A and B are shown apart, each in its own frame.
Chain A
Amino acid sequence: MPEKDTLLLEVRNLKKYFNLRSGFFYSKSSSSVKAVDDISFFIKKGETFGLVGESGCGKSTTARLILRLIKPTSGIINYKGSDLVRLKNSQMLKYRKEIQIIFQDPYASLSPRMTIGDIVNEPLEIHKVGNKNSRLKRIKEYLKTVGLNPEHINRYPHEFSGGQRQRVGIARALVLQPELIICDEPVSALDVSVQAQILNLMLDLQNEFNLTYLFIAHDLSVVKYVSNRIGVMYLGKIVEVAPSEELYVNPLHPYTMGLLSAIPIPDPELERKRQRIILPGDVPSPINPPSGCRFHPRCPNAQDICSKEEPVLKNYNKDGKEHLAACFFAGKPI
């Protein structure tokens, strides 16, 4: 099997329910937020899997579950043959080195009291990599790799711009030579001209170090630019998975269609000709999600069955390739 097709991560039936408590003294859990509700997907080695969805759809919770920053309610996270959910903390440490994360907010995710050298050094120290001298060399090398001046090693985060800070965050994730990097909205806090720099840097690093990315964002055009395959989430569920080009050309789920249509393309002539679908209503609360298909109250194609039964994710590609959708009327135009 070529390396590209090797499975690196497989998530199966992953659930995370956060219990809500009511009452002051006799608190009993009355309901729960189904932040992630039975999702399954896989990521192949060397590829970028994009996870896209609006706020509250569970994409960041998924990231935190994979890193085991929070414990799942149930499900399997299979990384290179080990189920991360069942590992002891001590066993998990080995994998933490291989799975790193880049956070959204480069202002909040870097300690203002540490120099950027200390920030990039911390993971090396935790994982006891090398000695002081070899670490210093490595830190400088990685600062250079991400496009920062290694001589700035003793500067503090406030001396850098947003884009440069995000580069520090990337160096911190990269310094342990991980296999999988989870990128949780890595560019959404940045200005447009700087976003492009960071996205290109991430693509270059992927080639150079053969990295695998789980790329989480709400901006479908950014996700499409970096991803090989994309999963679309809505209210804790994955509603569609397809290769990124296929997803754009031939969306099957009405939510994906609405999402694609809602994003204006920076091309005035094209925008004037484009027919837009405006999805009505708001994203419902995940505390009390709609019955049946969670999208049915906003769906122009909804029928009786949609409010009664929940559609499962099925493959609709006839050539044996991957194009999954969870919709009773998948592919029906809206």
Chain B
Amino acid sequence: MSIDTETAAKVAKLARIKVEDDALPALAEEFNTILGFIEQLNEVDVEGVEPMTSVTPMRLKRREDVVTEGDQQDKILANAPDAREGFFAVPKVVE
């Protein structure tokens, strides 16, 4: 499996990371190095193997679906780059 610049651009777009066009060939090459390394996994017979889920088989704990720590709008917005009138502010989303 070889990654070309077009695929690299698509992956960057999916990851929402801006990559300049002139940086795409180098990025594609790095992907190929890493994926070439990962290809070794194809040598392993995984027929009938269940994916690992936990160290010791156990069920995830459940909790009541209730508000545990609410009413802290100020704290939640305290680190926002742009917070206005109790909301996170972002550029216009809908035309």
Binding between chains A and B:
no
Give chain B's interface residues, CB within 8 Å of chain A: none
